[in-house]
Amino acid sequence: MPELPVHEIDLAPFRTGKPADRAAVAAAFDRAGRDSGFILLTGHGVDPALVDAAFDAWQAFFDLPLDEKLHAVAPPEHDGMIGYTAYGAQALAYTAGGESPPDLMEAFSIGREDTTDPFFDEYRAWFPPNVWPAAPASLHAAVDALERALHDVADVVLRAMALALDLPERWLVERAERAVVTTRCNHYLRGPGFEPLPGQPGLGGHTDYGMATLLVADPVPGLQLLRGGDWHDVIPPRGSIVCNLGDMLAMWTNDRWVSTMHRVLPPAPGDGVERRRSIARFLDGDPSVTLSAIPSCVAPGEVPRYPAVQAGEWLMAKIVGGQTAQPVELHDGGLTGAANR
């Protein structure tokens, strides 16, 4: 399977550079958004030791017996937004209207903890309290340290994206200050009891619902993008961060930028991989914000492709019903079709 040359963007010139350097980074985000919507970030300033510490702590948890891990399951009313997800307990392809066997992975999800502002009380269903495993003792601190670092990276990315869209630099940052943020550690394993069925994915084909996702992962095969009807491998080099655009940005940009279908294959005999780990930080947007086309993305006299919708309503439709965003002017497959042009 050939590797797809996703766009590589060095964030250092935006973080420390002159206006012309920062403008060049913003233009690079525009090119990436118009193409695959998948980016390898370098120059982001995240210490690799923070990533290693988080992976080591999560690995210690995933190595526990299943009964111990199940005791950390979130209460049912939280619909899997937080807590432990056992092997085969989800099939993410349904969110894109597809069908597949259950995903061959286990995961643990953590939401944001800075939710004392009265705003969060009104939208509390989106911000349930976290359930932290009792062991390992290092887990909470390691995850918090990485979250702080990825939060800073996300702010830089959003600022560069805003400039690319002819918006005030903090326009997207301000609309993410009260966003739903979910950080999920995924664990894909090969071995006795973990052999995939025919067509069984590690994580089924889907687009991400929200604004943007940041991902750190083992530098091994697994992640694939769907472009032109074919799946293409993306193997993130150590020290890089994968950033992919979500459905909300595709809707906000009136399909100027794309939200691309992707999946993860489980480790398979012959690929030299026994396990694959990733930590994904999903920035899913402020549920109170209205998603409507950004002016710079709508030509004079053009009707926006998507009707305005509240972000919380859009997220709920995706989570509960597997809805795919449909533009006002119908085209092949909504966001999925746009991603495969």
3-state SS of 279-339? EEEEECCCCCCEECCCHHHCCCCCCCCCCCEEHHHHHHHHHHHCCCCCCCCCCCCHHHHHH
Superfamily of segment(s) 7-339:
B-lactam Antibiotic, Isopenicillin N Synthase; Chain (2.60.120.330)
Task: Give the pLDDT of residue 230.
Answer: 87
Task: Give the pLDDT of residue 95.
Answer: 40
Domain locations in the chain?
A: 7-339
Cis peptide before 201 (omega within 30 of 0): no
CA distance 305 to 331: 10
Q: What is the pTM of this model?
A: 0.87
Task: Give the pLDDT of residue 334.
Answer: 29
CA distance 90 to 326: 24
CA distance 142 to 53: 6
Rg of the chain's alpha carbons, rounded to an integer?
Answer: 19
Buried b / exposed e over 155-169, threshold 16 CB at 10 Å, is: ebbbbbbbbbbebee
> pLDDT tens per residue, the chain (341 residues)?
334 568 999 999 999 889 999 999 999 999 999 999 999 999 999 999 999 999 999 999 999 998 888 877 655 554 567 888 887 655 443 344 444 455 678 899 999 999 999 999 999 989 999 989 989 999 999 999 999 999 999 999 999 999 999 999 999 999 999 999 999 999 987 655 555 555 554 567 889 989 999 999 999 888 999 888 888 989 999 999 999 999 999 999 999 999 999 888 877 767 777 788 999 999 999 999 999 999 999 999 999 999 999 999 988 888 775 444 444 332 222 233 332 22
Provide the 3-class DSSP secondary structure of residue 214.
Answer: strand
> Encoding tokens for residue 93?
């392809």
Question: How far, CA to CA in Å, does 237 sit from each of 30, 35, 216?
Answer: 23, 21, 10
Q: Angle at CA 336, nearest 5°, toward 311 and 313? A: 15
> Encoding tokens for residue 15?
């973080």
Of 324, 304, 327, the closest CA to residue 314 belongs to: 324
CA distance 284 to 208: 9
Provide the 3-class DSSP secondary structure of residue 20.
Answer: helix
